[in-house]
Structure 1
Amino acid sequence: MTTPRVYVIHENPEWFPPFAEAFAAEGVPVEELLLTDGGALGSIDLSADPAPGVYWSRMSASSHTRGNEHSKEYARALLGWLERSGATVVNGSHVLELEVSKVAQHGLLRDAGFDVPRTTAVFGSSALQDAARTFTGGADVPFITKHNQGGKGLGVRRFDTLAEFDAYVDSPEFEAPVDGITLLQELLTAREPFITRAEFVGGEFVYAVRVDTSAGSFELCPADACEVPQVIAGAVCDVPGTAAPGAPAAFSIRDEVTAEHPLVQQLRRFLADQRIQVAGVEFMETTDGRTVVYDVNTNTNYNPAVEAVAPVSGPRAIARFTGALLEQAYAASATTA
């Protein structure tokens, strides 16, 4: 019989080493299920039962940018089979559908009472220019675009005039979204040049990360992979350590945002209601006094500089949480054997 372990479902091996270290440190057996063409999974015997263990899905909405266009479909097939088989799944199929749709995130957040950005979803490209005129009331009001299936700042651009937007849509630079859905969204201005990302594991608040946006970057991924110079949708991902002396770090702990913070408590209830066990939720405090929640990232990554000073480690919290689930499931099966 295969020794029960935590199986991590993903498609980007570059993101896995911090998690492997965390699981090893916590003494929790772990194995990757790499959902790529020729990856670790390979195939599923649909007549068989899954190997004993806990299955944690951390599929990314940006998988297609790494040449893994079909990983989302592989994940849908795998998670459906696991759930029908009664396996313990963390961030299951319903969470995958939320990860790959900002439209779905927007609707759930709004229905839960959060302040969300005014947004229009546009299907295809032929209606974009007319939709932008409706969105702005025909005036040259700044707005941004995003891809519905996003991550990595995909499709995020600022436009100050309709003529600028028209020229972009008609140009070779136009970045078509993988699912054909472009979002038009109001431009939010932060009270101070940062956004905040609140991290949760197993229904509990881990910490809040202050992400500096003073350089105007839309590329806010806190992982190691984003700590190199690159241009995504016309915005530069800043390199930690290269800021001017005295400038804030790109990523740092926001100590005043604690588990008792009213927004954190509201987010905790929201994630529990949606059965999302692991997530990072981003929000912005604006110049006009709003606190706007705009992104739920369910395959969260952790910045190494933040982890070095954080009172609790995000990856180790995940290892402990999934390890506890593994112990509970295995103890239950051993008792009934």
Structure 2
Amino acid sequence: MEKIYIIHENNEWTVHLTKRLEELGLPYEEYHMGEGMVDLSTIPPQGVFYNRMSASSHSRGHRYAPEITFGLLAWLERHDRKVLNGSRALQLELSKVLQYMALNQAGICTPKTIAATGSEQLIEALKAFDGKQIITKHNRAGKGLGVQLFDNFYSARDYVLGEQFEEPVDGITLVQEYIQSPDSSITRCEFVDGKFHYAVRVDTSGGFELCPAEACQIGDLFCPVGEVKEEKPMFEIIEGFNDPIIGLYEQFLIENHIQVAGIEFVRNSEGEIFTYDVNTNTNYNPDAEEKAGKFGMLELAKFLGKELDQVRSSLALS
């Protein structure tokens, strides 16, 4: 029987989707790639394969999960299986450098960024931002891993040369101009089936740990950027959000064969938008969704069910 196959490495993030699939009575199977194996001499089963591999897998002890997932996706795509968020999506998930180049190709503005390896090269990169606030981050990250904010070159240099410096898993650190939001927030746009679903305002006054999932809200890395001055929700869905950036994002997703994503941007005091992250294993915040009555995992489950019906119809005709 044809199924929905979920490719992932984190049960805590996937359980919300499988619950929705069960609610809709949709058959599914999980491919947990924390430790994986792909028999390339066999033929894959029929169904819909949805890739949710994460750039932060190494932070959960699954260092090589993305690498074996590339093999799995190549096997599936070689046999013309229906793959959602396939090899290209995984490439972008694992590299912000590739994300920024693809975003720029689509006419989408990103912050000034320099990629570097090695302390000497990092310090040279920092000099290009002297006099400005600077962010350092990991090229392969997820969950805000390695994000640090510095007021000047000297504090950033001390971090790079100090014991607290966190080496990225792929060795590439990004040095980026900090874009100041007037209200200390960023906006995350969610897309299902390549179409805009909703936008959520994320309060960054407490730090850059911005993963919407419940599992990310306790015990993960935290980068303070100032005191929280008032009690307010960290995630809040924006009613009636409408901006020309949505059209650019949807075209970007089409060009890069991505069906499901969360794309984050910051707007400066002049109203200019700078896009800085594409999440292809997107999660949703339950409190914000409950308040707004919009449910990303439910829409995703419905989308997967529709894709499964199309596969079944094609097989019936063949």
Using the size of structure 2 for normalisation, the TM-score is: 0.95
- The 1-side partners of 2:133 and 2:266 are apart by 18
- Tell whether the 8 Å contact from 1:147 to 1:155 is kept in structure 2 after alignment: yes
> How far off is 1:229 after superposition?
4.9
Aligned residue in 2 for 1:8: 6
Q: 1:26 aligns with which of 24, 30, 42?
A: 24
Secondary structure, counterpart of 2:278 in structure 1: strand
> How far off is 1:247 after superposition?
3.0
- Tell whether the 8 Å contact from 2:37 to 2:68 is kept in structure 1 after alignment: no
Matched, 1:147 2:125: no
Matched, 1:225 2:223: no
- Tell whether the 8 Å contact from 1:9 to 1:55 is kept in structure 2 after alignment: yes
- The 1-side partners of 2:66 and 2:29 are apart by 19
Alignment root-mean-square deviation, CA: 1.9
- Tell whether the 8 Å contact from 2:5 to 2:29 is kept in structure 1 after alignment: yes
| Identity across matched positions, percent | 44
- The 1-side partners of 2:253 and 2:33 are apart by 26
Secondary structure, counterpart of 1:265 in structure 2: helix
- The 2-side partners of 1:326 and 1:298 are apart by 20
AA in 2 matched with 1:274: N
- The 2-side partners of 1:287 and 1:11 are apart by 39
Gap change, CA 1:4 and 1:14, over 3 Å in 2: same
Q: 1:254 aligns with which of 232, 238, 242?
A: 238
- Tell whether the 8 Å contact from 2:7 to 2:32 is kept in structure 1 after alignment: yes
- The 1-side partners of 2:254 and 2:124 are apart by 39
Aligned residue in 2 for 1:200: 191
- The 2-side partners of 1:286 and 1:169 are apart by 27
Aligned residue in 2 for 1:210: 201
- The 2-side partners of 1:119 and 1:45 are apart by 40
Aligned residue in 1 for 2:181: 190
Matched, 1:132 2:123: no
Aligned residue in 1 for 2:313: 331
- The 2-side partners of 1:256 and 1:126 are apart by 47
Aligned residue in 1 for 2:40: 46
The CA deviation string for residues 120-149 of structure 1, in whole angstroms up to 9 with x for no partner, is 11123331112211x12xx34221101100
Instruction: Report the number of matched residues.
Output: 318
- The 2-side partners of 1:224 and 1:66 are apart by 16
- The 2-side partners of 1:230 and 1:81 are apart by 34
Aligned residue in 1 for 2:79: 85
Q: 1:181 aligns with which of 172, 190, 193?
A: 172
> How far off is 1:94 after superposition?
0.9
The CA deviation string for residues 173-201 of structure 1, in whole angstroms up to 9 with x for no partner, is 11001111111100110022211111000
Using the size of structure 1 for normalisation, the TM-score is: 0.90
